[in-house]
Amino acid sequence: MEHIRMPKVENVRLLDRLSSRRAVVGTLYLTATHVIFVENGSETRKETWVLHSQISSIEKQATTATGCPLLIRCKNFQVIQLVIPQERDCHDVYISLIRLARPVKYEELYCFSFNPKLDKEEREQGWKLVDLNEEYNRMGVPNNYWQISDVNRDYGVCDSYPTEIYVPKSATAHIIVGSSKFRSRRRFPALSYYCKGNNASICRSSQPLSGFSARCLEDEQMLQAIRKANPGSDFLYVVDTRPKLNAMANRAAGKGYENEDNYSNIKFQFIGIENIHVMRNSLQKMLEVCELKSPSMSDFLWGLENSGWLKHIKAIMDAGIFIAKAVAEEGVSVLVHCSDGWDRTAQVCSVASLLLDPYYRTMKGFMVLIEKDWVSFGHKFNHRYGNLDGDPKEISPVIDQFIECVWQLMEQFPCAFEFNERFLIHIQHHIYSCQFGNFLCNSQKERRELKIKERTYSLWAHLWKNRADYLNPLYRSDHSQTQGTLHPQIAPCNFLYKFWSGMYNRFEKGLHPRQSVTDYLMAVKEETQQLEEELEVLQERLANLQKSQSGDNKVKSKQQDRSKQIGLYTSNNSLANTPQEYSNDLKSFPSRSPSQGDEEDSALILTQDNLKSSDPDLSANSDQESGVEDLSCRSPSGGGCLPSEDSGKDSDEAVFLAG
């Protein structure tokens, strides 16, 4: 609170990026956790909520006649343009936000004050939803070839690894420790995925400290042990996910890559995925393209190409495809590494797992996958996503890229995933929101020290509770696409990599399809379920009536009046269905009937603006009027009462009134 110089500013204008004509006036509040903009106007009082942890940059622009513009860019790709009447107020807001957006202690983060009003037991249950021990058992380990090793029980060998790690049975503690000394940050080869069907596995590590000629017997033994744990294959792929040039440059620093001559029976392969700095710049360039005001098609496509973003997505996907193919088709085990083995390695291992194992394409399995390949193996969430103030050069959209790979796969295999696009978007949102403890810190060790599980809540439990909102209506567990390995195409003309406007222009609803097929089908399925229930009741009644004409057993149907039809799911969303600025020529021409038409056109069914109730938008940027009321009838699981976010807002409200 001491950082808030200006808790409330009135007569602030919120600009619409797409249309300069649409601006709303309201009041801006700064609280300990959120920036809140409340529209003036007695009826709607639309609110926009932005978590401090979502703010990636704040830009104060030159003062104009109308006031001082403030541009807030968010990590969930929301861009907010405010105009504050007084320069001094603007400056105060700016200074306050700069500090608030860059907390220095974990304790300042939202998850430590966020209270979804669950009791202790519920919280603990929430953390137990994803259990990695269970997951390794599901994969089929321990078994004759793999065992759990306690060599890292006190994080003594590698502080960025978890305590429980699966290694080949023949790899003794001596070999593991020896190998760890020959690997960057001591991240020795460990099991990521085991393929029950053919014993092939995916292992992961960091780069070897081979320099120009160094060798390590234990490391060589370690790789041999991995190969032998797959008796059906006489060699092992070692995949270095870096461009060859980068890997070679590392040799000069005493690091590098495996020399095929020193390791018996390995096949070494480079897959050129660029480093975090290239990726950060690439995203930056792409976002600049997204921010262009009415770009031409060429501007857009050229900018997209120039950003290189889709090229990088493809590189990650190609690496995953290569590994999945090696494991599934050739039955060969693969060791994957990059430099430290916590960015590209995590991306590639998780893409490969997703392609190989249908379980990871279920909602629960996907949570497990992120927990396994990202959280437990020490992906540096805090550094990469800038949760605490730190080195800006450490920030990079590593998991964002993985999430996009999943979306690209969903576009190609529409029935293969149990979850929908919204699930991915919400996970991305919460990686940055710091509302839940899952992604705090840089390693399991740090999280244990902070007692995350005792002090914060788990995102997975929250998502699971609202799972009805995240279902893909086309998914069927018995469907052919659901079974076995996915085999995506490689060439861009066969596998169309698309720009993901649902993510990167997420808050510009006007750009998205105005009717959502997913929501529509989910509503139909929900109705179908109710019909099934009603059918059962009716059949029972019929049977009773037929059996005993005397027995007056009138079970009144719950839904005698089923007026609820899909077509009635309407929303008042005039924005979704008004013309854009198609021509500048019309501007100068006075609009004759500004009031006409809006209401009539607004009754569009199932627009995207009506995102389901557990949408983080509701806390971040909510159109609460339409959001909550409309949905209560559509989504029994989460509509009536907003779960955690709503209550989270209650606590905020207190702060915001106190402030």
**Is residue 281 annotated as involved in ligand binding?**
no
Please check whether residue 145 is in contact with residue 199, taking contact to mean a CB–CB distance below 8 angstroms.
Answer: yes
**Is residue 276 annotated as involved in ligand binding?**
yes
**Is residue 341 annotated as involved in ligand binding?**
yes
Task: Map the footprint of another protein across residues 186-225, applying CB under 8 A.
Answer: none
Does residue 543 interact with another protein by CB under 8 A? no
338 assigned to active site = yes
Q: How far is the CB of 41 from another protein (least distance, A)?
A: 23
State residue 29 phi and psi, 5-degree precision. -120, 140
Does residue 604 interact with another protein by CB under 8 A? yes
Please check whether residue 171 is in contact with residue 229, taking contact to mean a CB–CB distance below 8 angstroms.
Answer: no
From 199-207, 338-346, 395-403, 598-606, give the range in contact with another protein by CB under 8 A: 598-606
**Which candidate, 242, 162, 169, places its Cα nearest to that of 207?**
242
Considering only 23, 79, 148, 603, the residue that binds another protein (CB under 8 A) is 603
Q: Which is nearer to another protein, 264 or 501 (CB)?
A: 501
Q: Which is nearer to another protein, 18 or 628 (CB)?
A: 18
List strand residue ranges (DSSP E) for 469-617, in order.
Answer: 570-572, 603-605
Give the DSSP H or E segment for 598.
helix 598-602
Q: Which is nearer to another protein, 492 or 636 (CB)?
A: 492
Give the SS3 label for residue 570: strand
Does residue 489 interact with another protein by CB under 8 A? yes
Q: How many CB atoms lie within 10 A of CB 131?
A: 13
Considering only 490, 633, 641, 658, the residue that binds another protein (CB under 8 A) is 490
Q: Which two tokens stand for residue 298?
A: 């060429």
Task: Map the footprint of another protein across residues 239-298, applying CB under 8 A.
Answer: 290, 294-298
Dihedral sign of CA atoms 343, 349, 351, 353 in order? negative
Q: How far is the CB of 640 from another protein (least distance, A)?
A: 24
- The catalytically annotated residue of 290, 338, 349, 434 is 338
State residue 638 phi and psi, 5-degree precision. -135, 5
Does residue 510 interact with another protein by CB under 8 A? yes
Give the SS3 label for residue 595: coil
Q: Which two tokens stand for residue 259?
A: 């020399």
Q: Which is nearer to another protein, 450 or 575 (CB)?
A: 575
Considering only 104, 252, 517, 633, the residue that binds another protein (CB under 8 A) is 517
Please check whether residue 396 is in contact with residue 277, taking contact to mean a CB–CB distance below 8 angstroms.
Answer: yes
Considering only 104, 252, 545, 658, the residue that binds another protein (CB under 8 A) is 545
**Is residue 389 annotated as involved in ligand binding?**
no
Q: How far is the CB of 595 from another protein (least distance, A)?
A: 11
**Is residue 146 annotated as involved in ligand binding?**
no
Does residue 566 interact with another protein by CB under 8 A? yes
**Is residue 16 annotated as involved in ligand binding?**
no
Give the SS3 label for residue 494: coil
Mapping DSSP onto H, E and C, the string for 183-242 reads: EHHHCCCEEEEECCCCCCEEEEECCECCCCCCCCHHHHHHHHHHHHCCCCCCCEEEEECC
Q: How far apart are CA 349 and CA 337, in angstroms?
A: 9
Strands 333-337 and 201-205: parallel
Considering only 102, 520, 564, 626, the residue that binds another protein (CB under 8 A) is 520
**Close Cβ partners of 101 (under 8 Å, ≥ 6 residues apart):** 52, 53, 55, 56, 58
Does residue 596 interact with another protein by CB under 8 A? yes
From 71-79, 110-118, 399-407, 506-514, give the range in contact with another protein by CB under 8 A: 506-514
Task: Map the footprint of another protein across residues 446-475, applying CB under 8 A.
Answer: 473-474
Considering only 512, 564, 651, 659, the residue that binds another protein (CB under 8 A) is 512
Does residue 554 interact with another protein by CB under 8 A? yes
Q: Which is nearer to another protein, 535 or 654 (CB)?
A: 535
Does residue 633 interact with another protein by CB under 8 A? no
Task: Map the footprint of another protein across residues 294-313, applying CB under 8 A.
Answer: 294-302, 304-305, 308, 310-311
**Is residue 339 annotated as involved in ligand binding?**
yes
**Which candidate, 401, 393, 387, places its Cα nearest to that of 433?**
387
Considering only 24, 511, 628, 655, the residue that binds another protein (CB under 8 A) is 511
From 119-127, 171-179, 542-550, 640-648, give the range in contact with another protein by CB under 8 A: 542-550
Does residue 493 interact with another protein by CB under 8 A? yes
Question: What are the DSSP calls for 114-171, one per residue?
Answer: ------HHHHHHHHHSS-HHHHHHHHT-SSSSEEEE-TTTTS-S-TTS-S-EEEETT-
From 175-183, 209-217, 358-366, 586-594, give the range in contact with another protein by CB under 8 A: 586-594
Please check whether residue 382 is in contact with residue 441, taking contact to mean a CB–CB distance below 8 angstroms.
Answer: yes
Task: Map the footprint of another protein across residues 410-429, applying CB under 8 A.
Answer: 412-416
Number of H helices, E strands in the chain: 23, 16
Q: How many CB atoms lie within 10 A of CB 173?
A: 12
Using CB under 8 A as the binding criterion, the count of chain residues that bind another protein stands at 92
Considering only 42, 480, 563, 595, the residue that binds another protein (CB under 8 A) is 480
Residue set of the binding site for substrate: 275-276, 338-344
By annotation, the residues acting in catalysis are 338
